[in-house]
Structure 1
Amino acid sequence: MSRTVIRFAISGFVLLLFLVHTSGWVNLRLLEQIEHFTYDSRVQATLPGTLDSTVVIVDIDEKSLAVEGQWPWSRDKLATLVDNLFGTYQIRALGFDIAFPEADRSSGLQLLDRLQQGELADLPGFAERAMALRESMDNDRALAEAVRGKPVVWGYYFSQHLQSQQQDAVGAICPPAMDSMAAKLYDLDWIRPEGYTGNLPVLQATGAACGFFDNPTLDNDGVYRRVPLVQIYQGAVYESLALAVARLAAGRPGIEFEFEPPDVRTSLHLERLRAGPLLAPVDERIAVMVPYRGPEGSFPYVPAADVIAGKADAAVLKGKIVLVGTSAPGLRDLRVTPVAKAYSGVEVHANIISGLVNGGIKQKAPYYSGIETVLLLAIGVLIAWAFAALSPLAAGALGAGVLALISFLAFGLWSWGHFVMPFGVPVAFTLMLYLAQLLYGYFIESRGKREISKLFGQYVPPELVEEMAAHPEQISMEGESREMTVLFSDVRNFTSISEKLDAKELSAMINAFLTKQTGVVQKHRGTIDKYIGDLIMAFWGAPLTDKDHALNGVLTGMEMQRAIRELDPEFEKRGWPKLHIGVGINSGRMNVGNMGSEFRMAYTVMGDSVNLGSRLEGLTKEYGVGILISEDTRNLLPSDWAFREVDLVRVKGRSEPVAIYEPMGPKDELDPALRQDLARHRGAMKLYRAQQWDQAEQEFFNLIQSGRPHPIYELFVSRIMELRENPPGKNWDGAHNFSHK
């Protein structure tokens, strides 16, 4: 399996794990907690931290409980509270974050009923007197009368699941904000409670509206991050306390749902809820993300006792939206929020009302999971590609860039676009994917690379080891037949040279020579087969395929001739002789693989094409040239290269003649005079093979006299003299036979 496929498979496995969570099939609590943490971090990092006087909270706090007594207070006190808020302080609208499902037990009506039905039932005039007393003692009616005709919203709560023997409806609630006929026009993922606990009918009948204050969209960790604006009960739509108060303050405009596109009325395409000037981006459950302004106390608090006593600051209350609630710990209306672990529940509603009136509610779109899925797919593909195509360092830098980009987008869209983008899960996915890829690279690929380096590090250049590690499927230690190029290089007269040096100096000299020459081989992507004393054997086309194996081999041979001259200054300084080498190169089909015995194996090449390369190296001495290549190699080189045709030879072990050449390099890089000599040489060779001895001899002689002599010219002049004396016959193929290696 290729490295790229493996890297993408790793990404696919980790991606599948995360998609199972994103799709909702399996809830992975750790990922959920990470996403909640990053959401809360954004909330805390971008809190306005200013006091919003749009909404004022009349607080049943510990001070008020100390003044007015323990809760519940008698309803006549609340009636006074309402009268003062509207009469004395001229507020705009009032909402109760309290439900009143039961009658006031502190009014004395129950005692009056017992007396009227008991021992005083027959007392003359008592019935008439009791009737008059009942009207003055009915605190619930007093509160109802105080509310009548005023913009007051009663609070109540829905029950999502009824217990056995539990009533489905306690008390009364107001008419729905949208009737069942209108609700049927929308295919939404409504929250559908099974029952409710409302208010005393006498109270509810006098209120302008009502709103629920329960939160069925509470997250699993119990934190108030979002609150539904509506729920559907028995087919009709009912609004939340916050929405009801905000609508009442705005003149009670109707509720509308906005979709994109407008004609597709499903939760997935739901964008926002609108009520006149009020606009609320909502999610698939028609819930809003609570736009917290800061820690508790981001809105003015006025003690309820001060309002009842008429001691409150009128400037704080006049013309404001007021919520009546409690922050007293004993009344247990405290909530866990992203900004505090103990946060007054009534202030949660205040934040929502402020967001509805002033804007600033963040949108967590119904297609949030779709955004997260697309992000995970994009990150998975990018990270897989990076680890398949880039170095670990570059892939790590790309991973860091991905994290930085996700963070920038998450905070940028949050701050400037008021849009909640998935953050925690994509970051966790990036880190986990990076870790998985890194571990695979360290424990699997690195081990494979170490094995490859162990096998081939002494033969091939480091960059080829990297490529082999990246594409292990291209490597085979088993024997196989390939089109390749082989090179043999040998030092001329090395035996006589070695006799003049002691062992230490000879070792130092040969090490310097082999180091220089090996560097040239590796520069051109060659594989060192072996060293045999001063001989170097190298090949191209294995273990990695190389479509330019012939060109790389010839470039290596030519550069080896130049590189050995670069050693001359050091060798002369150390008193070592100047070295000369002969290079033979051949291309063709060769057997390559791990070969040897059970005692020792070596990665090497064998075959007739290999033997020919060795023969060509030996022939360089015969022709006085530094490098010889076969016709097969010549045919694989670029068409713009120039060659000196050396001869047609029949070497030992081969019956068919082989054309051999001296490579000169690209034609446009040659001196014009040299190009002219090469052309004259080709003409002389044609005359030679046509057995036109005199004309051929004259051409070779002219080349010798050109000022650019070459040993080949003199060799052919000498050979012509022999052939003139001993004609080869009419069937001569022009080849020269060599019986030695």
Structure 2
Amino acid sequence: MGSAAQHPSQIGLWLRLGLALVLTAVFIVHAAEWQGRFGWLEALDHQVHDWRLTAFAESAQDERIVIVDIDEKSLAAIGRWPWPRETVALLAQRLVNEQEAAVVGFDVVFSDRELGADPERLRTLVARSGDAGARSAVDQIAPLLDTDALLAQAFAGRPVVLGYYFSQGEPPRQDGQLPVASLSLTELRAPQVALPRFNGFVGNLPVIAKSAASAGHFNMIADQDGVLRRVPMIVEHQGQLYESLSIAIVRQALGQPALVPGLSPERWVPSAYSGLESLELVAGGRTVVSIPVDRHGRTLIPFRAVPSDSNRSRGYRWISAADVLKGAIPPASLKGRVVLVGTSAPGQGDLRLTPLSASMPGVEVHANLISGMLDGRLPAAPPYLLGAEVLLLLLTFAVLGVVVPFVSPWVATSMTIATIAGHVGINLFVYRGAGIAMPLAAVLCLSVALFLLHSTWGYFVETRGRRKLNELFRAYVPSQLVQVMNDDPDKYSVKGLLAGKSAEITVLCAEIQDFNALIERLPPTELAALMNQYLTAVSAEILAHGGTLDKYIGDQVHAFWGAPVADPQDAARAVAAAQAMRKAVLERVNPSFAQRGWPELKLGIGINTGNMVVGDLGSVQRRAYTVIGKAANAGQRFSGLARLYGVSIVVGEVTRRACPDLVWRELDRIRTRADSTPTSLYEPLGAVSDVPEAEQSVIPLWQQFLRLYRTAQFDAAEIQLNQIRQRGESALQSLYVNRLAALRQTPPDVGWDGVAMVRDR
């Protein structure tokens, strides 16, 4: 872009338009699926869908659906899965007979005979013995030994829906019995459909399968990134189509409406279009449930919100299967409810990675689908969105590809932002209003790509100053402040920043108390390692709070706020940085040092605010962006006074006034030979909400003591100080005890004002 973008040359204009058209064509190829969808754009669309789903996920509980959980509690009480058939039969009977559930869906498959006594083998053995009495006894107990038949009897005549699954492999595995197919491929009449196709299956034992009211598959196919976002609602096996477990349960709950394909009118269907838009549940000639699907027969899952501390949603009532079997649930508590029996136990292998949870139980996925079908709120991604996406790409090209070369950079940026915001707004409006999940990645990426294309045209001219600014200040200031300067190059020119100027600066100086003793204790290699770890920790906090690193002098760290970028909160950020530095040393650095046998550190931090000279200062041989001035020297002096007062942070009066939201304790009033003007020193105790009331209640008492002390009322001051000391001793109190004793021994001159004289550093 740049100023030249408003009057581009003919060659440059046509070249830019040509490149913009090529970019647009690439994204149209993706949207139209002429060469398949690009993987990276598909991945971005998945992320957009996940964000959109998370933002608008329903959080209210659906009282129509209850999940009976074969959880760890149940496994501990009854034993590992699979449970005895008698236990499962009792569970089904109690759910239907005692709890009066409308439908009971099992998210499990009963494909293997239960190990135990074989009635037929027992009959054969008794027949060989020739004992007629034994044969009669076996005939009487045989029904009790056939536990699979007992389970089938428990299911018979009850609204029980069973699960099963399909498989793909060679040779095909075909265990158990499939239910009657829902549809056939010829009934579908959608030539371009690409349903999941399987050559094998694992169904329920025939005796059990025949006894259930219906059955549905529980196959779940994750996207390429391993995240489950959609479920195939119908799949193909040997030319027949089979419905999912969630559809089978909804059909049972609604009185078995017919399942028919929802096809678009043939006159509007192009040759590449599957024609399949939905699966319809039809009763009495009208559609009672419409299930939107794509050409693969999949529907998006309408997940309910999942709390961060659990893998289970609060959108459904969860009941432990053990409580149902023990009869701990009051009778008829589940009357008219759709009950799903599944497991959330980690060891059972039915936990799924979803956009809202890293380990969502598969049974909850079915619950989400059933809830969405009953409410008519399944997100739709119909195939005709292809045309809508192509149209939006062309509109984006018209706005950002054709118009932008003729406008200024600021207008171009505004147009790009408005275009992206418009795409996002339309996408969210359609999703919330019509339940349609439109792709978004392609139009967003094209918007950004076109903007970058035009921006690079004037890149070297417009960013030359920015690159120099980055080179000069990358080592001084946090990256976010460099970005602020880059965003306003007129205000933050390199020449203007490097020239010395006077500004209100907040300076921070931190040092290690008793550093000389530490030097004597450690060998050079360990001392170097200690200093590197310490300086890294405290410097990180300075940068994190927007400070400019000035220099390191031995154990001292110098930093300042207010240049090159000034902010009204500079003083508050400096104080917050000091508190964070102290916390980092106490909670991270010192414990690490203790493990290595190193002494713990105690910081002395001084902070002062005032007018200073800031700029690129130094000699021909070496220069640095730094600050100088009387206020800067005072900040360094304050760090050395921290040990005197037994505190970690000493703050000047101007800084304190700039931070009225903090609780402060006045430490002293001082003057030096270089500066005879008295200045007050303070310690920040923290935010009002963080400082205990007991500690806050001492502050007025302390201020009263200082008033008495500075007006030479030493007796009253001593009484006040003793009352304060009863609430807890401190080094600061001990300092004033010694001062009072010295003043009693050598009374001060007339006119004494209580200001302490300290030596310059």
Shorter-normalised TM-score: what interval?
0.5 to 0.7
Separation in 2, partners of 1:315, 1:148: 20
The yes-or-no answer on 1:77 pairing with 2:101 is: no
Return the letter of the residue paired with 2:277.
E
Return the letter of the residue paired with 1:8.
L
2:280 is paired with a residue whose SS is strand
Separation in 2, partners of 1:116, 1:272: 53
- Aligned partner of 1:271 in structure 2 is 277
The Cα shift of 1:260 comes to: 3.4
Separation in 1, partners of 2:86, 2:294: 41
- Aligned partner of 1:355 in structure 2 is 372
Separation in 2, partners of 1:326, 1:37: 28
- Pairwise mapping of residues 318-357 of structure 1 onto structure 2 (< 5 A)? 318-357=335-374
The yes-or-no answer on 1:137 pairing with 2:180 is: no
The Cα shift of 1:146 comes to: 0.8
Return the letter of the residue paired with 2:102.
R
1:403 is paired with a residue whose SS is helix
Compared CA separation, residues 446 and 73, structure 1 to 2 (3 A): closer
- Aligned partner of 1:284 in structure 2 is 295
8 Å contact from structure 1 (residues 300, 316) kept in 2: no
Compared CA separation, residues 445 and 5, structure 1 to 2 (3 A): farther
The Cα shift of 1:2 comes to: 2.7
8 Å contact from structure 2 (residues 105, 339) kept in 1: yes
The Cα shift of 1:117 comes to: 6.0
- TM-score, with structure 2 as normaliser: 0.55
The Cα shift of 1:376 comes to: 2.0
- Aligned partner of 1:196 in structure 2 is 201
Match of 2:452 among 421, 435, 439: 435
- Pairwise mapping of residues 38-437 of structure 1 onto structure 2 (< 5 A)? 38-105=48-115, 108-110=116-118, 121-122=128-129, 124=131, 125-159=133-167, 161-162=168-169, 164-167=170-173, 169-179=174-184, 181-184=186-189, 188-216=193-221, 218-261=222-265, 268-276=274-282, 277-295=288-306, 296-297=312-313, 298-314=315-331, 316-437=333-454
2:211 is paired with a residue whose SS is coil
Separation in 2, partners of 1:89, 1:213: 25
- Aligned partner of 1:737 in structure 2 is none
The Cα shift of 1:446 comes to: 10
Return the letter of the residue paired with 1:270.
L
User: What's the C-alpha RMSD, in Å, of the aligned pairs?
Assistant: 2.5
Query: Can you give the 5+ residue segments of structure 1 that lack an aligned partner in the other structure?
Result: 448-741
Separation in 2, partners of 1:416, 1:172: 43
Separation in 2, partners of 1:379, 1:56: 47
Match of 1:15 among 5, 24, 46: 24
Return the letter of the residue paired with 2:359.
A
Separation in 2, partners of 1:31, 1:203: 46
Separation in 2, partners of 1:170, 1:444: 72
8 Å contact from structure 1 (residues 109, 137) kept in 2: yes
Compared CA separation, residues 250 and 116, structure 1 to 2 (3 A): closer
Compared CA separation, residues 311 and 445, structure 1 to 2 (3 A): closer
Separation in 2, partners of 1:396, 1:154: 57
Separation in 2, partners of 1:313, 1:263: 57
The Cα shift of 1:16 comes to: 3.6
Report Cα offsets for 1:156-206 as digits up to 9, x if no partner.
1112x32x3343x21101111224553357763333222211110001111
The Cα shift of 1:121 comes to: 4.7
Compared CA separation, residues 96 and 132, structure 1 to 2 (3 A): same
Report Cα offsets for 1:31-85 as digits up to 9, x if no partner.
2221111110000101121111111111101111111111110111111111111
Separation in 2, partners of 1:424, 1:189: 24
8 Å contact from structure 2 (residues 100, 332) kept in 1: no
1:22 is paired with a residue whose SS is helix
The Cα shift of 1:87 comes to: 0.6
8 Å contact from structure 2 (residues 192, 295) kept in 1: no
Separation in 2, partners of 1:74, 1:84: 16
1:2 is paired with a residue whose SS is helix
2:231 is paired with a residue whose SS is strand
Compared CA separation, residues 186 and 317, structure 1 to 2 (3 A): farther
8 Å contact from structure 1 (residues 183, 235) kept in 2: no
Separation in 1, partners of 2:223, 2:333: 35
1:109 is paired with a residue whose SS is coil
8 Å contact from structure 1 (residues 144, 202) kept in 2: yes
Using the aligned pairs only, state the percent identity: 33
Report Cα offsets for 1:521-543 as digits up to 9, x if no partner.
xxxxxxxxxxxxxxxxxxxxxxx
Return the letter of the residue paired with 1:78.
V
- Pairwise mapping of residues 467-478 of structure 1 onto structure 2 (< 5 A)? none
Return the letter of the residue paired with 1:139.
T
Separation in 2, partners of 1:172, 1:115: 26
- Aligned partner of 2:626 in structure 1 is none
Return the letter of the residue paired with 2:237.
Y
The Cα shift of 1:130 comes to: 3.1
Separation in 1, partners of 2:192, 2:268: 9
1:205 is paired with a residue whose SS is helix
- Aligned partner of 1:688 in structure 2 is none
Separation in 1, partners of 2:278, 2:188: 16
Separation in 2, partners of 1:186, 1:242: 26
State the number of aligned residues: 440
After TM superposition, the structure 1 stretch with the greater mean CA deviation from structure 2, 333-342 or 422-431, is: 422-431
Separation in 2, partners of 1:367, 1:283: 10
Separation in 2, partners of 1:85, 1:9: 68
1:103 is paired with a residue whose SS is coil
Report Cα offsets for 1:320-356 as digits up to 9, x if no partner.
0111110111101101111111101101000110111
Return the letter of the residue paired with 1:333.
D
2:227 is paired with a residue whose SS is coil
Return the letter of the residue paired with 1:122.
S
Separation in 2, partners of 1:414, 1:200: 43
Return the letter of the residue paired with 1:219.
D
Report Cα offsets for 1:697-741 as digits up to 9, x if no partner.
xxxxxxxxxxxxxxxxxxxxxxxxxxxxxxxxxxxxxxxxxxxxx
Query: Can you give the 5+ residue segments of structure 2 that lack an aligned partner in the other structure?
Result: 1-9, 283-287, 307-311, 465-761
1:271 is paired with a residue whose SS is strand
